[in-house]
Amino acid sequence: MCFHNSCMGSFISFDYQLRKRTAGSIEGLFDEVINRTFQEADERKMELEIIHVLHPLSSLCTAKAEPCVMVLGFFDGVHLGHQELINRAKKIALQQDLKLAVMTFFPHPKQIIGSDQTPKKYITPLVQKAKIMQELGVETLIVVNFDSAFANLSPFGFIQEYLCGFKCKHAVAGFDFRYGYKGEGNMEKLKIEGKRFFEVTEVEKFEIAHEKVSSTMLRNLIENGRFADIPAYLGTYFQSHGTINSSYFRSKNHQHFLVTLSEAFLTPPPGVYLIEMQNDGNVYEGIAYQTMEESNQESWHLQFNDYLPLEDMKIHIKWKCESTKKLNQMTDMRAVY
């Protein structure tokens, strides 16, 4: 079974004509065209088709598949290492006139095959992941439902049913990508067993300051409240969503909200943090805090110096860094008003 939906935008199309040049200058012209097309792609919104797939894969899912470059991975956070993979694949897709597709999985494999099968929280839940993919120029996002049946698929079965089924002509993945039953498939196996069907590009470890950039690293930073360190690896601040409770308070100098954070996102540890919110094109800086006594709940206190004319109870919070204020300086405003 499969389900299709799309993030509406406009497809990018381009064509160009090579004039008579020397061999060396033709290569330079091609690079120039690729770079220009990258720039045009960044300036326009792509249409992102999202295909949700249940195992076993139905021919209805692949009936309209077009030859593509396929990027493989889970991509929690879509950090700078993930973006390197996608940009590498994007260049190949432009050079070979192929669609750019990403295959990801949901829920996280550890939730199905690991010892702890409680629902996972994410740096970027699926909806946010799709939005970032669209911004990066991905045209098709294939979301495979990771269940026990899919987990038992052999490595060659994955290649034949999923990669060949979606007409992959060039597979791109990180050096540590694993697939198939018990993760028996690796990049070496993908190159050997896939060479009859498609090319393979293995992307080396992505490091910053001699440290591998990974979702695990970012999860550790978030879980320890080290938000100031995150943009160096994520490319932006960590963001999460929340819902304003029906009651909030306003003092002479501050506006206070009680917010319930979405359970889909990783939750910061109790503490006091500088945050940022956008509303109607304006940016507001404030403070978010939670006491140890409230740590078993999802509620956080938000405090702003400026008045926020919020019409929607759903909000996006950008977590910037720890505040110099301490928890013992913060007051539960519900007890004051």
114/193 same-domain check: yes
Same domain? For 184 and 109 the reply is yes
Query: Does a structural domain hold residue 214?
Result: no
What is the H or E stretch that residue 200 is in? strand 199-203
Indicate whether 257 belongs to any domain: yes
Q: Is residue 221 part of a domain?
A: no
Rounded to whole angstroms, the Cα distance separating 153 from 57 reads 11
Report the candidate in 138, 137, 135, 48 with the shortest Cα–Cα distance to residue 102. Answer: 138
What does DSSP say about strands 207-208 and 211-212: parallel, antiparallel, or unpaired? antiparallel
Q: Is 287 among the domain residues?
A: yes
132 neighbors 48 (Cβ within 8 angstroms):
no
Domain membership flag for residue 72 = yes
Identity of the amino acid at 96: Q
* Spatial CB neighbours of 86, under 8 Å, sequence gap ≥ 6: 71, 100, 102, 133, 136, 137, 138
> Model-level pTM?
0.84
Q: Is 76 within 8 Å of 124 (Cβ atoms)?
A: yes
Rg for the chain, CA atoms, rounded: 23
The residue among 194, 199, 299 whose CA lies nearest residue 256 is 299
Per-residue pLDDT of the chain (337 residues; tens, 9 = 90+): 777 776 533 222 222 222 233 334 434 444 454 455 445 445 445 689 999 999 999 999 999 999 999 999 999 999 999 999 999 999 999 999 999 999 999 999 999 998 777 889 999 999 999 999 999 999 999 999 999 999 999 999 999 999 999 999 999 999 999 999 999 999 999 999 999 999 999 999 999 999 999 999 999 999 999 999 999 999 999 999 999 986 667 777 788 889 999 999 999 999 999 999 988 888 999 999 987 666 666 789 999 988 887 777 899 999 999 998 776 666 554 444 3
How far is 82 from 73, CA to CA, in rounded Å? 9
Q: What is the pLDDT of residue 204?
A: 97
186 and 239, same domain (yes or no): no
Residue 326: predicted pLDDT? 72
At 44 the three-state DSSP class reads coil
Look at residue 337 in the predicted model and tell me its pLDDT: 36
Claim to verify: residue 190 and residue 234 sit in the same structural domain: no
Domain boundary among 204, 220, 250: 204
User: HSE-up of 168 (CA within 13 Å, CB side)?
Assistant: 29
Instruction: Report the first-to-last Cα separation within the chain, whole angstroms.
Output: 53
Flag whether 213 is in a domain: no
CATH of the domain at 77: 3.40.50.620
Boundaries of domain holding 261: 228-335
**Spatial separation of the C-alpha atoms in residues 16 and 30, rounded to whole Å:** 10
252 CB burial (10 A radius; 0-12, 13-18, 19+): exposed
What CATH number does the domain containing 324 carry? 2.40.30
- Mark whether 34 and 174 lie in a shared domain: yes
Our count of domains for the chain comes to 2
Within this chain, do residues 173 and 87 fall inside the same structural domain, yes or no?
yes
Nearest by Cα to 332 from 308, 307, 297, 306? 297
pLDDT of residue 5: 74
Q: Give the DSSP per-residue string, 255-292.
A: EEEEEEEPTTB--PPSEEEEEEEEETTEEEEEEEEE-G
Structure tokens at 230: 């995150």
